[in-house]
């Protein structure tokens, strides 16, 4: 999210608040998950451990996906000498197509 709200020229200078901006967004985003998780768990008072386990599971899953994408990038661009421009266009188009599909499945929002 910090990439969206901070202009590119700011990265050339030191901007210490960028990490706090990302942390704040993550905390607000996590509160939504905590309410959802609390509705799943019921009246249980101890939500800290299940919420921590849920968030760690999400982070591990995201890291595995990023690792897989980077591995595919290394294989295609590094070993098979695919054009980096073509690979970026293909990957961006694939992500766009997946986003459109997810929007279509949830229509109307």
Tokens representing residue 7 in the block:
């202009």
Q: Tell me, what's the pLDDT at 15?
A: 66
pLDDT > 50? residue 17: yes
pLDDT > 50? residue 1: no
Average pLDDT over the chain, rounded to whole?
79
Tokens representing residue 18 in the block:
């960028």
Q: Which helix (H) or strand (E) holds 43?
A: none
Q: Do residues 88 and 72 touch, judged by C-beta distance below 8 A? A: no
- Domain range annotation of the chain: 1-45, 50-109
Q: Tell me, what's the pLDDT at 93?
A: 93
Higher pLDDT, 73 or 41: 73
Q: Tell me, what's the pLDDT at 96?
A: 94
Q: Tell me, what's the pLDDT at 94?
A: 92
């Amino acid at each position: 999210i910090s990439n969206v709200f901070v202009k590119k020229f700011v990265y050339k200078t030191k901007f210490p608040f960028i990490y706090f901006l990302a942390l704040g967004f993550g905390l607000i985003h996590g509160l939504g998950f905590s309410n959802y998780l609390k509705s799943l768990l019921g009246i249980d008072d101890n939500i800290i451990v299940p919420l921590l386990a849920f968030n760690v599971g999400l982070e591990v899953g995201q890291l595995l996906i990023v690792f897989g994408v980077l591995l595919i990038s290394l294989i295609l661009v590094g070993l098979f000498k695919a054009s980096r421009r073509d690979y970026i266009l293909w990957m961006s188009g694939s992500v766009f197509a997946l986003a459109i599909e997810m929007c279509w499945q949830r229509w109307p929002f």
